[in-house]
Amino acid sequence: TLALSLVALVALGGVAWYAATVPITDRLARVGVADVLGGAVGNLIDRAKDGYVLDFVDAYWGTWHFWAFNVADAAITVGVIFMILDMLGLGRRSQGETASSASNPV
């Protein structure tokens, strides 16, 4: 438990450092980083308090079974997806476009 908590703290520090470098205009990336940080903190609190992380969502469809997870795991996954979408350029405005021109097209 202690070793996993220390590894999680180091990883959390790395993600927090990365979050400080993300430009304020990259909203999708910032939301993604916030999700990852929130999920990581949630899992770290559970691990430090209880010694383990409880996975309580168990999804299946017929005979197909998805792995068990918790809300923090889901937040981390969604956050990483948002960060990947940002890296692919989704959600970004073109270089010449401003917020006012985006809301009032001519």
Reduced to 3 states (helix: H, G, I; strand: E, B; else coil), residue 65 is: strand
Choosing from 26, 35, 46, 55, the catalytic residue is 55
Active-site pick, 46, 58, 73, 86? 73
Cβ neighbourhood burial of 5 (10 Å; 0-12, 13-18, 19+) = middle
Query: Which runs of consecutive H residues, i.e. helices, occur in 1-106?
Result: 2-21, 27-50, 71-87, 99-103
58 is catalytic: no
| Nearest-angstrom CA–CA distance, 11 and 36 | 11
73 part of the active site: yes
> Annotated catalytic sites, by residue?
55, 73
